Amino acid sequence: MPANSMEELVSLCKRRGFIFPSSDIYGGLQGLYDYGPLGVELKNNLKAAWWRSMVYDRDDVEGLDASILTKPTTLQYSGHEATFTDPMVDCRNCKGRFRADHLEAAKCPNCGSGDLTEPRDFNLMFKTAVGPVDDGSSFAYLRPETAQAIFTNFKNVLDATSRRLPFGIAQIGKAFRNEITPRNFIFRVREFEQMELEFFVRPGEDDAWHERWVELRLEWWEQQGVPRDRIELYHVPQDELAHYSKATVDLMYHFPHGVEELEGIANRTDFDLGAHSKGQADLGITSNVPDNRDSNARLAVQDLEAKKWFVPFVIEPSAGVDRGFLAVLNEAYQEQDLGDGKSRTVLSLPSHLAPIKAAVLPLKRNHEGIVAKAKGLKQELQRLGLGRILFEDTGNIGKGYRRHDEVGTPYCMTVDFDSLEDNSVTVRSRDTMEQSRMAMADIPAFLRENLAS
């Protein structure tokens, strides 16, 4: 069980090239981070695992990759313009601005002054000008969630694929929120990625599907190395629900800074599809949401037997990639005592998430024969399509093993003088630290078997 501090994770991320503060050489920009050489691999692997489980392993989900810039009308009818706000107070003394619901006393957390304004709503959406003239007349929002483009594309996807309920649309992509107090490393940032599924079901079947998706998502996190007993379920009380939700279950993970939301699984009812539809009265549909005078689409489906139209309900598992990254890293990170005053840092990632799957190390730097053999092995293994295989010519094998333990590389292969004669190499395992000799010809099958998870 990890008992890691955020500082340990931040330090590993910077030192080994997982994550850097954004705009670092200019002093940084608060609430933004850049993923480095290993971070981008781990993040891509996490997203690929989600996509595989949502789109490839199921036969009732289609994918989508929609624009980030979003027409204001979309976010007007979705309710985000009116409600996507946090209550803020300003300190008249130091001019600091804070979330009213995060204040512990009626005092400024910065300077301690009690001279605070009344709470005011602050919209979290970023705006940007569209087109050559920036006079405020033509702007778009940077989407605050990926979900809305799934709803506005509902009919396009349905027409293109002839799907029947229940079916889902999955999307992974950036979302932006002007968080007042970005903090806790990549936990709360202003630019992040979401992995969202909108799963459309018949009204009446929504509660059962909601429960099912909570279970499926817990199973998935377990496969990423985040065990069930490290996640608490929070059934959001009625008075805290978002405007579109009938019921929401948050998966609360034990992050290093506390138990907080990793993923939210909401029953969004027929709110969004209804809100983006033009009047549907002539289809016999009455809706609880205000009439939409700007949309030209009807986001409804027909019940062929009953010959009736209805608006599907939607269950939404919405996970943060960055929070997922942090959880996976936290679970995998261990300081191991090896006895005799020795220790090692090891990242016990599931192999499908490891940034580097195997490293090929020549025993002797610049030795023509050994280097050529090692490079040949790297190329051959790379072609297996298992992910990144690294050739690394640093010459210090012991240090190489330690470094690869620290970044989670499951296997290192050392090519030495004997390899030139017998075509075998030393294979060293991250988890057991055992070393064994293996014929080069057997390595592809070994990796295929041991890296498949």
Positions in the binding site for ligand ATP (CB under 6 A): 145, 177, 179, 188-189, 192, 194, 261-264, 318-320, 322-323
Q: What minimum distance in Å lies between the beta carbon of 319 and ligand ATP?
A: 6
Dihedral (Cα; 39, 41, 42, 47), 10-degree rounding: 120
Structure tokens at 113: 């002054």
Q: Yes or no: say if 392 and 414 are a contact pair by the CB < 8 Å rule.
A: no
Q: Yes or no: say if 363 and 415 are a contact pair by the CB < 8 Å rule.
A: yes
Give Cβ neighbours of residue 430 (< 8 Å, ≥ 6 apart): 346, 348, 404, 405, 408, 409, 410, 411, 412
Beta carbon nearer to ligand ATP, 194 or 426: 194
Q: What minimum distance in Å lies between the beta carbon of 332 and ligand ATP?
A: 18
What is the gyration radius of the CA atoms in the chain, in angstroms? Answer: 26
| Beta strand spans in 158-284 (E) | 167-176, 191-201, 231-235, 247-255, 258-269
Beta carbon nearer to ligand ATP, 173 or 320: 320
Neighbours of 268 (CB within 10 A): 24
Q: What minimum distance in Å lies between the beta carbon of 206 and ligand ATP?
A: 18
Q: What minimum distance in Å lies between the beta carbon of 142 and ligand ATP?
A: 13
Beta carbon nearer to ligand ATP, 185 or 313: 185
Give Cβ neighbours of residue 332 (< 8 Å, ≥ 6 apart): 225, 347, 348, 349, 408
Q: What minimum distance in Å lies between the beta carbon of 260 and ligand ATP?
A: 6
Beta carbon nearer to ligand ATP, 55 or 197: 197
Beta carbon nearer to ligand ATP, 268 or 357: 268
Neighbours of 175 (CB within 10 A): 20
Q: What minimum distance in Å lies between the beta carbon of 84 and ligand ATP?
A: 9
Q: What minimum distance in Å lies between the beta carbon of 85 and ligand ATP?
A: 12
Q: What minimum distance in Å lies between the beta carbon of 198 and ligand ATP?
A: 13
Beta carbon nearer to ligand ATP, 147 or 363: 147
In this structure, what DSSP letter does residue 8 have? H
Q: What minimum distance in Å lies between the beta carbon of 320 and ligand ATP?
A: 2
In our burial notation (b when 16+ CB lie closer than 10 A, e otherwise), range 92-103 reads eeeeebbebeee
**Packing angle of the helix pair 37-51, 206-223 (nearest 10 deg):** 140
Q: Yes or no: say if 401 and 428 are a contact pair by the CB < 8 Å rule.
A: yes
- What is the spatial distance between Cα 434 and Cα 448, in angstroms, rounded to a whole number? 19
Q: Yes or no: say if 23 and 29 are a contact pair by the CB < 8 Å rule.
A: yes
Q: Residue 14: phi, psi to the nearest 5?
A: -75, -45
Beta carbon nearer to ligand ATP, 179 or 205: 179
Beta carbon nearer to ligand ATP, 9 or 189: 189
Q: Which residue is nearest to ligand ATP (CB)?
A: 320
In this structure, what DSSP letter does residue 183 have? B
Beta carbon nearer to ligand ATP, 261 or 405: 261
